[in-house]
Amino acid sequence: FPVVSSSGFREVMRKVAPYLYPYHRLIHGTKGLDVTLPDGYTADDTNLPLTRSHIKTMSEVILEETAVVKVGCLAGPNLAREIADKHPAATVVASRFDSVIAEGQRLLRNDLFQVYGNKDLIGIELTGVLKNIIAIAAGALSGLGFGENAKALLISRGMVEMIHLGKALGGNTEAFIGLAGIGDLVATCSSSLSRNFTVGYRLAQGETLPQISASMQEVAEGVNTVRIMKNFAQYNGFRAPITEKLYQVLFEDLTVEEALQYLMKIPLNVDIDFL
């Protein structure tokens, strides 16, 4: 069960690769992306020409760096502190292999922790990755003092944006409407225990990203995901307005209030456009 920040995941897999064989099973719990930058570009460039080939999920990193074949992931509303405090919860083990799902269920399931299975590994990985973007936005709304109507609007429109981004990266819509998708999204958009929610909240309170990052002991994966997905959407010619505005708040000089004003003026007429 490797649970390493996405920025260090590939290096860790390289280090443990000599000890891993095809008969091993790995189920990771990292909700982030690995990016190989195009030649001549740096992570700070604002117009990265990112295609799907530049972006890897953690299961794809495992397959590239080790001899392991049977790979899976954990995803769902799994706020670590609540699980440690033995609150009822559930997760999803996703893998193309039934044996990996069964092993994950055997090891993790107990009277307070339910474990579901799903065969769409890429889709389930992407749900956990992309909801971090929306969680930052939810924290920002909370930091501005807005209530449940605003949160419901963000969660529903955020899910639409997640589905469009996820399908562009190879996931299926069904992955986003289950526990790992809408379940995780609701949990992380409603809890101050979420690192990504906390980033958004503090941004709305007037802090800058460098100030927030310097004082956080834990990694907020959503910050890097915003950077990646903004460039991916921009280069491939489709709109991701929540992601685009969050990028400007995080890395440029747009305020949270200005981002909200822009998003509320988008002339959308169709509620569900992904089925």
pTM to 2 decimal places: 0.92
Spelled out in words, what is the top-level CATH class assigned to the domain 131-264?
mainly alpha
Tell me the per-residue pLDDT of 130-139, one tens digit each, with 9 for 90 and over: 999 999 999 9
For residue 46, the model assigns a pLDDT of: 82
Give phi and psi for 249, each to the nearest 5. -70, -45
* Domain boundaries, given as residue ranges, for the chain: 6-121, 131-264
Same-fold call for 6-121 versus 131-264:
no
Tens of pLDDT, residues 180-234: 999 999 999 988 888 999 999 999 999 999 999 888 877 789 999 999 999 999 9
Q: What torsion do the CA atoms of 210, 132, 95, 180 make, to the nearest 10 degrees?
A: 150
CATH number of 6-121: 3.40.50.720
Residue 275 has pLDDT above 70, yes or no: no
Catalytically active residues are 131
Q: What is the pLDDT of residue 192?
A: 86
Average the pLDDT over 112-138 and give the result.
97
CA distance 119 to 122: 9
Q: DSSP assignment, residue 188?
A: H
Report residue 190 as tokens. Answer: 């409603």
Q: Angle at which helices 256-264 and 241-251 pack, to 10 degrees?
A: 160
Among the residues of the chain, which ranges form H helices? Answer: 6-16, 58-65, 80-84, 98-108, 121-143, 148-168, 173-176, 184-188, 195-204, 209-215, 221-236, 241-251, 256-264
